[in-house]
Structure 1
Amino acid sequence: MKLAVVGGGSTYTPELVDGFARLRDELPLTELVLVDPAAERLELVAGMARRMLRAAGHPATVTATGDVREGVAGAAVVLLQLRVGGQAARASDETLPLQCGCVGQETTGAGGLAKALRTVPVVLDLARQIRAHAPEAWIVDFTNPVGIVTRALLDAGHRAIGLCNVAIGFQRRFAAMLGVEPSRVALGHAGLNHLTWVRAVWLDGEDVLPDLLRERGQEIAADVGLPRALLSRLGAVPSYYLRYYYAHDLVVAEQRAEPPRAAQVAAMERELLQLYADPSVDAKPELLARRGGAFYSEAAVALIASLLGDRGDTQVVNVRNGGTLPFLPDDAVIEVPARITASGAEPLPVAPLEPLYAGLVAHVSAYETLALDAALRGGRDRVTDALLAHPLVGQEHLARELAGLLEAAG
Structure 2
Amino acid sequence: MKFTIVGAGSSYTPELLDEMIVRRESLPIDELVLYDIDSHRLEVMEGFCKRYSAKRDFPIKIRSTTDIDDALYGAAFVDTQIRVGGNKQRVKDEKIPLKYGLIGQETTGAGGMMKAFRTIPVMLDVARHMEKSSPDGWLINYTNPAGLVTEAVKRYTNANIAGFCSGGIFPKMWAKRSMGIDYNRVQYDYVGLNHLNFISHITIDGRPVTEKEFETLAETNDDVGADIQKLLGCLTSPYLQYYYKTGQRVEELKAKSQTRGEYVQDLEKIVFAGYADENNADIPKELYKRGGGGYSEVAMNFVNAVYNNVDTEMVVNVQNKGAVPFLPDDGVVEINCLVNKRGMAPIHKSYIPAPCWGLISEVKNYEMLAVEAAVEGNVTKMKQALLAHPLVREYSVVEKLVPDLLEGSKEFLPQFFK
With the length of structure 1 as denominator, give the TM-score of the two structures: 0.96
Deviations 1:144-198 (A, max 9, x none): 1111110111112221110100122331221333323212222221110000012
The DSSP-based 3-state class of the residue aligned with 1:33 is strand
How far off is 1:214 after superposition?
Answer: 3.4
SS at match of 1:346: strand
Question: Alpha-carbon deviation of 1:25?
Answer: 2.6
- Supply the distance in 2 between the matched residues of 1:215 and 1:221 (Cα, whole angstroms): 9
Q: What is the match of residue 140 of structure 2?
A: 140
Among 233, 236, 251, which residue is 1:235 paired with?
233
**Aligned partners of 1:214, 1:141: CA distance in 2, in Å?**
33
Partner of residue 165, structure 1: 166
Gaps of 5+ in 1: none
Q: Does 1:312 align with 2:338?
A: no
CA 1:169–1:285: 2 relative to 1, 3 Å:
farther
Aligned-residue offset at 1:209: 5.8
Is 2:181 aligned against 1:180? yes
Give the residue type in structure 2 aligned to 1:93. D
1:34 alignment partner, SS class: strand
Deviation at 1:240, TM superposition (A): 0.7
Q: Is the 8 A contact 1:171 1:187 kept in 2?
A: no
C-alpha distance 215-261 of structure 1, shift in aligned 2 (>3 A):
closer
Q: Is the 8 A contact 1:46 1:64 kept in 2?
A: yes
| 1:323-402 correspondence runs (5 A) | 323-402=322-401
Corresponding residue of 2:301: 302
For each residue in 1:181-237, what CA deviation from the matched residue of structure 2 results, as whole angstroms up to 9, or x when unmatched?
Answer: 21222222111000001213221211216332334643x242xx1332222222221
How far has the Cα of 1:90 moved from its partner? Answer: 0.4
For 1:114 and 1:289, locate their aligned partners in 2 and report how far apart those are by CA, in whole Å.
Answer: 26
Query: TM-score, normalised to structure 2's length?
Result: 0.94
Instruction: Tell me, yes or no, if the aligned pair for 1:187 and 1:202 is still in contact at 8 Å.
Output: yes
Determine whether 1:252 maps to 2:253: no
Q: What does 1:7-406 align with in structure 2 at a 5 Å threshold?
A: 7-155=7-155, 156-208=157-209, 210-215=211-216, 217-218=218-219, 220-222=220-222, 225-258=223-256, 259-406=258-405
Is 146-155 or 13-22 further displaced after alignment?
A: 13-22
CA deviations over 1:260-314 (Å, ceiling 9, x no partner): 1110001111111000011222222221111112111110100111122221211
Residue identity (%): 36
**RMSD of aligned Cα (Å):** 1.4
What is the CA-CA distance between 1:38 and the residue it aligns to? Answer: 0.5
Cα 1:53–1:372 shift into 2, 3 Å: same
Aligned partners of 1:210 and 1:235 also within 8 Å = no
Residues 112 and 145, structure 1, Cα contact 8 Å, conserved in 2: yes
Which 10-residue stretch deviates more, 165-174 or 130-139?
Answer: 165-174
What is the CA deviation profile of residues 117-160 of structure 1, one whole-angstrom value per residue up to 9, with x for unaligned ones? 11111110111112111111111111111111101111122211
What is residue 415 of structure 2 aligned with on the other side?
none
C-alpha distance in 2, partners of 1:171/1:215? 13
Asked if 2 retains the 8 angstrom alpha-carbon contact of 1:380 and 1:404, the reply is no
2:318–2:334: 8 Å Cα contact kept in structure 1?
yes
Cα offset, 1:239, TM superposition: 0.9
Do the aligned residues in 1 keep the contact of 2:4 with 2:72 (CA within 8 Å)? yes
What SS class does the counterpart of residue 362 from structure 1 fall into? helix
Unaligned runs of 5+ in 2: 411-418
Distance 1:361 1:30, change over 3 A: same
* Distance in 1 separating the partners of 2:70 and 2:300: 23
* Aligned partner letter, 2:324: L
Instruction: Please state how far the C-alpha of 1:27 moved relative to its aligned partner.
Output: 2.0
- The worse-fitting range, judged by mean Cα deviation, of 95-104 and 125-134 is 125-134
Q: Tell me the secondary structure at the aligned position of residue 271 of structure 2.
A: helix
Q: State the one-letter code of the partner of 2:296.
A: S
Q: Does the 8 Å CA contact 2:2/2:32 hold for their aligned counterparts?
A: yes
What code does the residue aligned with 2:270 have? E
Conserved 8 A contact 1:20-1:297 = no
SS in 1 for 2:192: strand
Name whichever of 140-149 and 233-242 sits farther off: 233-242
Q: Deviations over 1:332-391 (max 9, x none)?
A: 111111000112110112242123101100100010010001001013212111111111
Distance 1:374 1:217, change over 3 A: closer
Higher mean displacement: 60-69 or 197-206: 197-206
Q: Which amino acid aligns with 2:292?
A: G
SS in structure 2 at match of 1:262:
helix
Kept in 2, the 8 Å contact 1:200–1:209? The answer is: no
